[in-house]
Amino acid sequence: MWRLFTIWLGGLTLIGTATLANSAPRLPESVAAKDAAPKQTLLQITGNTRGKTVDLTRADLRALPNATLTTSTVVTDGTHEFRGFLMRDLLEQMDIQGSQVTAMALNDYAVNIPVEDFYRFNVIVAYAMDGKRLKRAGKGPLWIVYPRDAHKALQDIRYDYRWVWQLYRLEVQ
């Protein structure tokens, strides 16, 4: 993704381009590994991270305050109990600030999500469904889940896009 930028330097204008999201991010070995062990990176955070990529293992993610959410989804039958952590807890605990997050998935899907969503709704990142670890074949290892049954506004295609499955990176802007 390319974005035009303009910088004003006391009357002097520089116009150029910058990559918005690391174009075609290379999949780290650890994330690409088939069955991630506890010490392998499951989620990366880039962007407003003081110049460092934050690599989080399954153990790191499980150590965040747990959150559960029972909801229907647009891709499964009935309701399911999802377990994971609140997106806002993740950003707050990592001391990462921003207004928008680009959520990127292992299948090269990416979508922008306003950080406001995480405060208006209890959006979670799930690593388990109905007590079982989410596998890649079942939208895992990480899946962004919205409480769609609790808010009529969330029963909308604009939010369906944001239920990123196979999530592996959050780029915060």
Ligand X SMILES: Nc1nc2c(c(=O)[nH]1)N[C@H]1C(S)=C(S)[C@@H](COP(=O)(O)O)O[C@H]1N2
Q: Interface residues with ligand X (CB under 6 A)?
A: 74-75, 105, 107, 109, 160-161, 163-166
SS3 161: coil
DSSP 158: H
Residue 13's alpha-carbon distances to 8, 10, 142, in angstroms, are 5, 8, 43
Nearest C-alpha neighbor of 84 from the set 41, 139, 143: 143
CB closer to ligand X out of 79 and 107 = 107
Token duo for residue 93: 């605990």
Q: How far is the CB of 45 from ligand X (least distance, A)?
A: 17
Q: State the minimum distance, in angstroms, from the CB of residue 144 to ligand X.
A: 8
Residue 121 carries which DSSP code?
S
Minimum distance, C-beta of residue 147 to ligand X, in the bound complex (Å): 16
Complex with ligand X: residue 66 or 133, whichever CB lies closer:
133
**Beta carbon of residue 162, minimum distance to ligand X (angstroms, whole number):** 7
Nearest to ligand X of 129, 164 (CB atom): 164
Q: Which residue intervals of the chain are DSSP H helices? A: 29-32, 58-63, 87-93, 116-120, 157-160
Comparison of 127 and 163: residue with beta carbon closer to ligand X: 163
